[in-house]
Amino acid sequence: MKDNKVLILDDVSVRYRKRDSRATADIFRRLMGKEKRNNEFWALKNVSFSLEKGDMLGVIGKNGAGKSTMMKAISGTLCPASGTIEKEGKLCALLELGAGFDQDMTVKENVYLRGALLGYSKEFINGKYDEIIDFADMREFEDSPFRTLSSGMKSRIAFSIASMVEPDMIILDEIFAVGDGDFRKKSQKTMQNIIANGDTTALMVSHSMQTVRDQCNKVLWLDRGRMVMFGDPKTVCDAYAEYLNTGKLPETESLKATEKNPINKMAKTKGKIFGEVMIYLLLLMFTLGGIFFWSQYDLFRAYFIAKDSTPEQIMQVVDDYRDEANELLEADISGWNTEVLDNCTEDIRNEKATIKEVAKEVVGDSFEPGSREYRRRPPLKPRRSLAAAELAVTKRYYSDRCEKMLADIKAEHDALPEDSRPNLLVYTYGDRQKFFNLEKKCDDAVQDVIEEVRSQLKKEHYPEEYADKIFNAYKSEKGYMIAYYMENLK
């Protein structure tokens, strides 16, 4: 790094979100850059300064000024939204009490753990261990679990490790605020020795102006994320003390520069651009895959049913769903004319009869107005029985048409040369749109009958949910019928 610099912050900004919605639509808007930025909070705005080897920087400012955020960004636990941070050497950061320690391990074990995290060998820590424990005055607690220590004890052992292992850069975030008076004096003297040695660069957050004046050779003043002043302790601390008395910020060049550029733009590196492109591609792939799967859902479901069942087992389930629909409609099918039902397809296809007319023939005259059975039953029940017959005729008609289409396709398939003949199931899938069209017509016809049933239920003050249950039974029956056809095509 140039000019003996060990730390350079260049136009660093850190952004938080006040609200981070996880709704799919909000995530997509954020990815597309269309979300309004009124939910952002900038904890740091365009902060720039540099430190040389051996500098001791004091960071001052009111609560919420961005001091701890800046320390986290320097230590690497936060990633800046814009700007760059360059640093060199081994860094030890004391940001929060207990950070970097295992609460269930003993104090002694944590000394070795913290040393390992800082990159030091066990042999090195062996040579420093007694010095670390005695400086923290923790000899009688070295075998105690770390979680049993008070906040003052935790700060003592953390500072002791950081100062004794001699890192190239040390960050102290109000570490002296929780220790007792004797330890503060001892730790401040240690920091003075570190500064005098000139090998370690230190950054210290403190609300004590006297400590900053005594310990530091440079001071940074932050206010609401903005850099107000950076310079020698006397100039900056005197200006800060005047601000605390008057409440008026000085008009400094660094503050004016931030005011002129209040909106921070995230610098898009090649990595970020590549990441965004990959996200868009993945979203596109998942979207297309989801659309395809959803559009072919009935086929996929039917395929797995056919894979694990015999045709007899499948038709047994089909019959169960048909019985369920008839039970919901309270339809007595024992008196139906099944011969009419079995031979209705040609008449309907040639427009010699409608589905409703065939259904009346299937039911017969037992439920005709004026008949003895009609008079003995509630008015709704004959209508339900007629609806059940309409559903049966509709399904039989479209089922026969489907079987006719399958037979035609099989004939075309069998006429192909044997050496170039594909799998029959795959060949049939190529004509799937014909079946989709037929399926839609069947669905629409069934839905019309269901809506008539719903209307009658409403008039007679019956629960309308029966109509939904009937349609669900039809959809389940349809899925198994598709599986039945697939099984026959294997």
Closest CA to 236 of 217, 215, 251, 220: 220
Per-residue pLDDT averaged across 351-367, rounded?
80
Question: 103: Cβ–Cβ under 8 A, 6 or more apart, which residues?
Answer: 145, 146, 147
In degrees and rounded to multiples of 5, residue 44 shows phi and psi of -135, 140
- Write the DSSP assignment of 30-74 as a string of letters: HHTT-S-GGGEEEEEEEEEEEEETT-EEEEE--TTSSHHHHHHHH
State pLDDT tens for residues 238-279: 999 999 898 888 888 888 777 655 454 444 556 666 777 777
Question: Which two structure tokens, joined as six digits, stand for 83?
Answer: 């700007």
User: Contact, 138 vs 111, CB < 8 A?
Assistant: no
Q: Is 225 left (phi over 0), alpha (psi -120 to 50) or beta?
A: left
Whether 219 shows a pLDDT value over 90: the answer reads: yes
Confidence class for position 407, pLDDT limits 50, 70, 90: confident
Confidence class for position 218, pLDDT limits 50, 70, 90: very high
Whether 360 shows a pLDDT value over 80: the answer reads: yes
Percentage of residues of the chain with pLDDT beyond 90: 5
Question: 312: Cβ–Cβ under 8 A, 6 or more apart, which residues?
Answer: none
The DSSP code for 82 is E
Rounded Cα gap, residues 75 and 92, in angstroms: 8
Whether 12 shows a pLDDT value over 50: the answer reads: yes
Query: What element of type H or E holds 86?
Result: strand 82-87
User: According to the model, what pLDDT value does residue 380 have?
Assistant: 46
The DSSP code for 179 is S
State pLDDT tens for residues 120-165: 788 888 888 888 888 888 888 888 888 888 878 887 888 788 777 6
Whether 81 shows a pLDDT value over 50: the answer reads: yes
Rounded Cα gap, residues 100 and 474, in angstroms: 61
338 CB burial (10 A radius; 0-12, 13-18, 19+):
exposed
Whether 280 shows a pLDDT value over 80: the answer reads: no
Question: Which two structure tokens, joined as six digits, stand for 339?
Answer: 């011969």
Q: Which CATH superfamily is domain 2-278 in?
A: P-loop containing nucleotide triphosphate hydrolases (3.40.50.300)
Query: What element of type H or E holds 223?
Result: strand 218-223
Closest CA to 134 of 158, 166, 157, 109: 157
Angle at 210 between CA 206 and CA 216, to 5 degrees: 65
Show contacts of 174-182: CB within 8 Å, 24+ apart: 174/205, 174/206, 174/207, 175/94, 175/204, 176/206, 176/208, 176/211, 177/206, 177/207, 178/97, 178/151, 178/152, 178/154, 179/152, 179/155, 180/152
User: According to the model, what pLDDT value does residue 370 have?
Assistant: 46
For 205, the 3-state DSSP assignment is strand
User: Contact, 153 vs 138, CB < 8 A?
Assistant: yes
State pLDDT tens for residues 84-120: 888 888 787 776 555 668 888 898 988 888 888 777 7
Per-residue pLDDT averaged across 198-222, rounded?
86
Closest CA to 341 of 306, 304, 392: 392
Q: Is 97 left (phi over 0), alpha (psi -120 to 50) or beta?
A: beta
Which of the residue ranges 6-20, 58-72, 89-103, 302-316 would you say has the lowest mean pLDDT?
89-103
User: According to the model, what pLDDT value does residue 59 have?
Assistant: 92
Closest CA to 453 of 396, 386, 397, 376: 386
Which of the residue ranges 105-114, 177-186, 332-341, 442-451 would you say has the lowest mean pLDDT?
177-186
Average pLDDT, the chain: 79
Whether 381 shows a pLDDT value over 60: the answer reads: no
**How many CA within 13 A on the CB side of residue 434?**
12
User: According to the model, what pLDDT value does residue 262 have?
Assistant: 47
Per-residue pLDDT averaged across 185-214, rounded?
79
User: According to the model, what pLDDT value does residue 264 have?
Assistant: 47
Whether 374 shows a pLDDT value over 50: the answer reads: no
In degrees and rounded to multiples of 5, residue 276 shows phi and psi of -65, -45
User: According to the model, what pLDDT value does residue 11 have?
Assistant: 86
Percentage of residues of the chain with pLDDT beyond 70: 81
Q: What is the pTM of this model?
A: 0.48
Domain boundaries, the chain: 2-278, 296-489
Rounded Cα gap, residues 479 and 473, in angstroms: 10
Confidence class for position 75, pLDDT limits 50, 70, 90: confident
Whether 236 shows a pLDDT value over 80: the answer reads: yes
